[in-house]
Amino acid sequence: MLEFAENVQMHDYTINAINRTLFAPTDRIEILPSEYWTSELLDWSNPDNNQICRTMVRDQKGFEVLQGHGTVRGVLLGGCLSVFSMMIGTEIWPVVDEWKGELLFLETAEDYPAPNDVKYFLRNLVAQGIIHQLNGIIVGKPLDEKFYEEYKEVYIKVIGEEARRRELPIIYNVNCSHTSPVCIFPNGIEAEIDCDNRRIALLEKPVLIG
């Protein structure tokens, strides 16, 4: 949550997400796309930048459904693709059965993985049998939107064509990545993807208040 040190002030979208998810949770929390985003880098060691807001870019795409129809539910399990790659084969990597019925969420970081790297990672999940266990996939907005279209093509090719899971919902360009602002996806919480309306919702309270 780097936005706790955001220049000038934290983004309203992120503040709202923190309040709704951690401090005033309800039984259903709608996750909506942010109208603006940024991945501009301002050097924090320069005190002059403390008074400068990062430049925001208007996002006219919103959430994109790459494939799938209707509504699916599952427990959230995911994180940064680069970190996930390092976990494969270790004792903390979930076994195949633990992925059954899950909603996998993935995002790419400042290392800007090449489209082929994402392709090989997804193929690894196919080879492990994980892709065929999932109920859906949520993909975060790429940093700087670099490889934006290329990543879309990779997901459709590997999941839809190679793994022959054209029915598996994949929702893309979600604000759960290294861009700002961000929503919050708590691991282990049941969530819902509504492909027809391009919506995501948490179906449980992530924390218990009082």
- How many CB atoms neighbour CB 130 within 10 A? 22
Per-residue confidence (pLDDT) for residue 62, from 0 to 100? 96
CA atoms within 13 A of residue 202's CA, in its CB half-sphere? 22
Confidence of residue 164 (pLDDT cuts 50, 70, 90): very high
Q: What is the mean pLDDT of residues 38-57?
A: 88
Per-residue confidence (pLDDT) for residue 181, from 0 to 100? 95
CA distance 104 to 75: 8
Report percent pLDDT > 70 for the chain.
99
**Listed residue (47, 105, 45, 65) closest to 81, CA to CA:** 105
Per-residue confidence (pLDDT) for residue 199, from 0 to 100? 96
Confidence of residue 1 (pLDDT cuts 50, 70, 90): low
CA distance 182 to 16: 10
CA distance 17 to 93: 28
List domains and CATH numbers for the chain. 2-202 (3.50.30.60)
Q: What is the mean pLDDT of the chain?
A: 94
Instruction: Tell me the pLDDT tens digit for each residue of 79-129.
Output: 999 999 999 999 999 999 999 999 999 999 999 999 999 999 999 999 999
- The SS3 of residue 145 is helix
Instruction: Tell me the pLDDT tens digit for each residue of 51-84.
Output: 888 999 999 999 999 999 999 999 999 999 999 9
CA distance 204 to 192: 10
Per-residue confidence (pLDDT) for residue 129, from 0 to 100? 97
Confidence of residue 210 (pLDDT cuts 50, 70, 90): low
Q: What is the mean pLDDT of residues 131-159?
A: 97
Report percent pLDDT > 90 for the chain.
85
Quote the radius of gyration of the chain (alpha carbons, Å): 17
CA distance 94 to 13: 32
